[in-house]
Structure 1
């Protein structure tokens, strides 16, 4: 009987000690714990820029948390599609889709496998396809159908292929320009956060493409025609942008129009079936005094000329002199011998200088003189930058990121992509964690002791009963 009471007392002591250890471990677990937000997973997105002369794929990424519902987007990959723009495949639409495979394969290798099906892909066609749509709606639909078919064959979240309006192209280009110039948000000191720069003026954006030219800016006065403005909400702020696109006044189409005009002057009666050849001879751009901000000019098809001829100049006359000097010509005017008839070639010394000093490709040499003059005409006679030439900056990239409509398009679309929920990890300091482990292990040890006592310490009575 005495041994049974001793056994019960020992077990009771062990159970009480075990309970105390458990309570202490529980208290240590519940108090003084810390929650830490894990870095958000990067999200990816891709945009095909299906221009009039070529197509490029731009890949972007941004942290999943975003800033006021808009992503802080970085350019990660650029892939140039082989061949001309997709509008050139009007007679062979399947080839338009096949031309995209090389860049899609590059994207497939870049995006992590577990995020590919959540990565949105868009294709935006610009002026080349707008012209094809005017000429032959069926062919333009077939081209878009074929590129859609090919992109859908890849494990991405394809969001559609469509033809952008000229206003959209200009507005998205304006978003890109101001984003890269830190007009929307900028990083705040060493803390690494993002803030809205108060009082900073926005930039205007000019774009000289192959088949159209765009201008976009925030007007300083009310715009007479509200239909010429587009609104966009970025990083919690609303912006109204005046934008206009001039179809057929891109560099390539202008050169072709001038060739046709010269053929007519020479007496040719060959009929021309193209919408750009029936829009008249004059480019008239009237902006009044709505615009008073600095402007970034970008030229895709004419980039070598813009770099060589216009960068670093403060007066229009300096640009004209550079055109003459670089081409080693005594005069360079809008005449048949300046490249419009497809026969003229600059002097050998001019060719050598441009190719070696500035890496100008052969395909630009023929129209170099005429194109430079045309851009001068657009800026001075069209957009009326006669007295404000110093406000124009010719750039193709800012911080290793291409200036174009695709980044602005992606920024705008991140507003529609849900943010990822934050991942939170709860933990304790190392010393507290060690104490928790000690008391839990000690409680387990005491539990084992109780089991051992119950199993081994079981004396029998004199009758052989337990």
Structure 2
């Protein structure tokens, strides 16, 4: 299967502009555990923008929890209200009706049955269409594929780093899924190859997403193996930890036994990577073959991988370093963790035992990263800030806008080229050819 991302121009709004006027776009990234709302701006163009460093994140994201996929249709209006308040506070009133608003739902929505997906998406479309922002087609609010996520993240990191040779690997770990993407020179894994048409070349990108292997889904699956009645004693929590855990609408009392070896065994069983290496095929997550990683490439990790690397005070690291730091943390008792002011200040410290070992197993066993390769987490500006390169946050949403603008020649928007009328562009479509 080949995915061609075709991004045609669409005349959305018209008004006379000054040459230095700013255009805006709003993106709602609806993940499994939260919705991240980001406002982008760019100087209104008179020509193709490439490389795409002219698009800017206007402010810190608004993160709304829990994920929208946990809501019922009659709750969507209330859920979106503070999001619209945030957008209204950032976008000038005069620009509101000309500002496109787009929503993409990711793995959390993909986990739902198709009927619930459609019902929720229909209600979201209804709310966006009456928001006062520019929402001209239902395809502006949709469930995006995991392959889309992997592809757009790779593009975003490449653009922000200023790389021109495509020599990078991106890895993302969300709550419900994980993705990897890197450039390949062959079409052996045809169903997982995305062909990108960029201004200077066509790129074949190996991009794959594993639904159900995100941090939250993986932790639930591993904990479920330790259920005994209404209790769970898990080796993936610190010795002395106590709490509760809700799984499939049932609440369990949870306590930790703190065994690195037992937790690793449970995680490896979950990842289920048991097949042998054959040629340059490597057994990956769920025993699915993947291409060998180009060892000359740089690896950039975001989201859950970067979160735990930051927690363990790792920036650029190799897997043995990650494992050593993870083991040192996991061997602490819960009382020792709570006595450590740095660790105890982290709101997710209770689940970081699991995350630290899961990330190591995911990278080593799932993605077959050699111990000799370095992994770069995309730096935090501070522990609570989004991932950033030069103050920009590389996400699928940002990269989708970047890639979209890279595809569009200014002469397709004649009034923009003339410098007199703005045609805001924020529409993209996906065509799948077999």
Q: Which residue of the partner structure matches residue 454 of structure 1?
A: none
Q: Is 2:251 the counterpart of 1:260?
A: no
1:123 aligned to which of 90, 93, 103: 103
Q: Which residue of the partner structure matches residue 338 of structure 2?
A: 351
Q: Which residue of the partner structure matches residue 82 of structure 1?
A: 64
1:323 aligned to which of 323, 326, 338: 326
Say if 1:281 and 1:385 are closer, same or farther in 2 by CA, change over 3 A. closer
Distance in 2 separating the partners of 1:309 and 1:65: 43
Alignment map for 1:265-414 (pairs within 5 Å)? 282=272, 283=285, 284=287, 286-292=289-295, 293-300=297-304, 303-309=306-312, 311-312=314-315, 314-329=317-332, 346-353=333-340, 356=342, 359-361=345-347, 364-395=348-379, 396-414=387-405
Q: Is the 8 A contact 2:31 2:107 kept in 1?
A: yes
Moved more, 381-390 or 116-125: 381-390
Q: Is the 8 A contact 2:181 2:205 kept in 1?
A: yes
Say if 1:99 and 1:157 are closer, same or farther in 2 by CA, change over 3 A. same
Classify the secondary structure of the residue corresponding to 2:374.
helix
Larger Rg: 1
- 1:40: how far off? 4.0
Q: Which residue of the partner structure matches residue 150 of structure 1?
A: 127
Q: Is the 8 A contact 2:34 2:65 kept in 1?
A: yes
Q: Which residue of the partner structure matches residue 230 of structure 1?
A: 194
Q: Is 2:174 the counterpart of 1:209?
A: yes
* Structure with greater strand percent: 2
Q: Which residue of the partner structure matches residue 256 of structure 2?
A: none
Distance in 1 separating the partners of 2:319 and 2:270: 27
Q: Is the 8 A contact 1:173 1:403 kept in 2?
A: yes
1:47 aligned to which of 27, 33, 47: 27
Classify the secondary structure of the residue corresponding to 1:401.
coil
Classify the secondary structure of the residue corresponding to 2:218.
helix
2:55 aligned to which of 62, 69, 73: 73
Classify the secondary structure of the residue corresponding to 1:287.
strand
Q: Is the 8 A contact 2:27 2:101 kept in 1?
A: yes
- 1:236: how far off? 4.9
Distance in 2 separating the partners of 1:401 and 1:126: 21
Say if 1:227 and 1:377 are closer, same or farther in 2 by CA, change over 3 A. same
Provide the aligned length of Structure 1 versus Structure 2.
Answer: 340
Distance in 2 separating the partners of 1:368 and 1:290: 27
Alignment map for 1:165-204 (pairs within 5 Å)? 165-183=145-163, 200-204=165-169
Q: Is the 8 A contact 1:47 1:58 kept in 2?
A: yes
Q: Is the 8 A contact 1:47 1:410 kept in 2?
A: no
Distance in 2 separating the partners of 1:153 and 1:389: 50
Q: Is the 8 A contact 2:173 2:215 kept in 1?
A: yes
> What CA deviation, in whole Å up to 9, does each residue of 1:197-253 have, x standing for no partner?
5xx44322100000000001111x303132312233344543332100011000000
Q: Is the 8 A contact 1:216 1:242 kept in 2?
A: yes
Q: Is the 8 A contact 1:229 1:242 kept in 2?
A: yes
Classify the secondary structure of the residue corresponding to 2:59.
strand
Q: Is the 8 A contact 1:48 1:58 kept in 2?
A: yes
> What CA deviation, in whole Å up to 9, does each residue of 1:63-109 have, x standing for no partner?
222653665311113432433001111xx222234212212222123
TM-score by length of 1: 0.66
- 1:391: how far off? 4.3
Distance in 2 separating the partners of 1:262 and 1:65: 57
* Structure with greater helix percent: 1
TM-score by length of 2: 0.70
RMSD value, Cα:
3.1
Say if 1:394 and 1:106 are closer, same or farther in 2 by CA, change over 3 A. closer
Q: Is the 8 A contact 1:213 1:249 kept in 2?
A: yes
Say if 1:310 and 1:404 are closer, same or farther in 2 by CA, change over 3 A. farther
- 1:58: how far off? 1.0
Say if 1:357 and 1:256 are closer, same or farther in 2 by CA, change over 3 A. closer
- 1:383: how far off? 1.1
Say if 1:66 and 1:326 are closer, same or farther in 2 by CA, change over 3 A. farther
Distance in 1 separating the partners of 2:110 and 2:146: 9
